[in-house]
Amino acid sequence: MIKQHNIKAQAGFALITVLLVVALVTIIATQLIYQQSLTVQRSINILHQSQATAVAWGLETWIKKALALDAKQSKTDNLEEQWAQPMFPVPFEDGEISGQLFDLQGRINLNNLQERDKNKLKLWQAIVQRLLVQQGLDVNLHEVITDWVDIDNNASINGAESDTYLLKKPAYRAANQKLVLVQELGLLEGFNAKIVKQITPFVTALPKITKINVNTAEIVVLQALTDWMTEEIATMWVKQRKEDPAQKTVNFLNFLAEQLPVFTLAEIKKDLPDSLIDVKSDYFFLVGKIEYGEARQTLLGIFMRDDRKNVKLVQRWVGVTDE
């Protein structure tokens, strides 16, 4: 009886061992299959991202050619031209591409506050002040920006230089050079994320001093040009330029003279000299979206059209989105 009992016990133990081995093999096999699935999916994602990136570079090349062609066909830039029209999603094999160009000279270039000519600097400071007032912000913030971009370390009365920023944690110094991105304003005294977001649609940070294109500037930017530029006049100009954009700055000045008979053309031109306004642009901002298979990619870039001939990529941002 004891021997028979031992045989049954050994048989039961062997069965349990077999079941454990089977379970272990099943777990290992399942893990291997799962890892293989992840590897395959990862490879697919990498391939799709690579393809999306290649398409993005193609979009950049197309933008360069389009801007160069536009310069040959027209000496001015306005929002009715082909470059300003949105590129609705265009399908291609396993994906689609879309995008739009924006004129950065339709915005106020904050780096103009680095202007060395004192008279011109006062004009640009006044424009930034008006924008701040329109947005319900502290008018003295223009001095903070000026101190950040100027080359010295001498603080304005309502400004801030390195001695202010060195007290922060972590400490840092004033850049004393041009802004690279508008978002850099978040580092400045008196600014926060809400303020930066609020003024971002109306300002830009370009690598050189630029004029404002009156053919592309929004109503808010146009209002900031002078004290007497009302929302009504700016709105009337925006409507007129759709049908008859200015071919020269004098066309814009003549329009203003018609709306403001109390001012002479000479008086208007004094407030709006050619150093402030233009009817053509050199800097454009691309917002592109590329979908390829599993990949969702955004492409942001700043293009400069040099002497309306050569088009160069100044800055580029590539991101992956889940949208």
Q: Give the torsion sign (CA, 166, 168, 173, 177).
A: negative
The pLDDT tens digits for 262-311 are 999 999 999 999 999 999 999 999 999 988 877 788 899 999 998 877 99
pLDDT of residue 10: 59
Q: Give the torsion sign (CA, 60, 61, 67, 70).
A: negative
Which positions ≥6 away from 274 have C-beta within 8 Å? Answer: 211, 249
Dump the DSSP string for 134-174. Answer: HTT--TTHHHHHHHHHSSS-PPPTT---HHHHTTSSS----
Residue type, 191: F
pLDDT of residue 5: 56
- H or E element that contains 100: strand 95-103
Q: Flag whether pLDDT at 43 surpasses 70.
A: no
The answer to whether the beta carbons of residues 285 and 102 sit under 8 Å apart is yes
Q: How many other C-beta atoms can be found within 10 angstroms of the C-beta atom of residue 58?
A: 13
Nearest to 269 by CA among 285, 255, 283: 255
| Residue showing tokens 């009817």 | 279
pLDDT of residue 38: 67
Q: Indicate the SS3 state at residue 113.
A: helix
- Category of 308 on φ-ψ map: left (φ > 0), alpha (ψ -120 to 50) or beta: left
% the chain with pLDDT above 70: 89
pLDDT, the chain, mean? 89
Q: How many other C-beta atoms can be found within 10 angstroms of the C-beta atom of residue 294?
A: 14
pLDDT band at residue 318 under the 50/70/90 scheme = confident
The pLDDT tens digits for 165-190 are 999 999 999 999 999 999 999 999 99
Exposed / middle / buried, residue 43 (Cβ in 10 Å: 0-12, 13-18, 19+): exposed
User: What's the whole-number mean pLDDT along residues 197-215?
Assistant: 97
Residue type, 22: V
The pLDDT tens digits for 106-165 are 999 999 999 999 999 999 999 999 999 999 999 999 999 999 999 999 999 999 999 999
pLDDT band at residue 45 under the 50/70/90 scheme = low
pLDDT band at residue 65 under the 50/70/90 scheme = very high
pLDDT band at residue 39 under the 50/70/90 scheme = low
pLDDT band at residue 321 under the 50/70/90 scheme = low
Q: Flag whether pLDDT at 7 surpasses 70.
A: no
pLDDT band at residue 315 under the 50/70/90 scheme = very high
User: What's the whole-number mean pLDDT along residues 199-211?
Assistant: 96
pLDDT of residue 179: 96
**Bridge partners for 277 per DSSP:** 212
Tokens found for residue 122? 């006062």
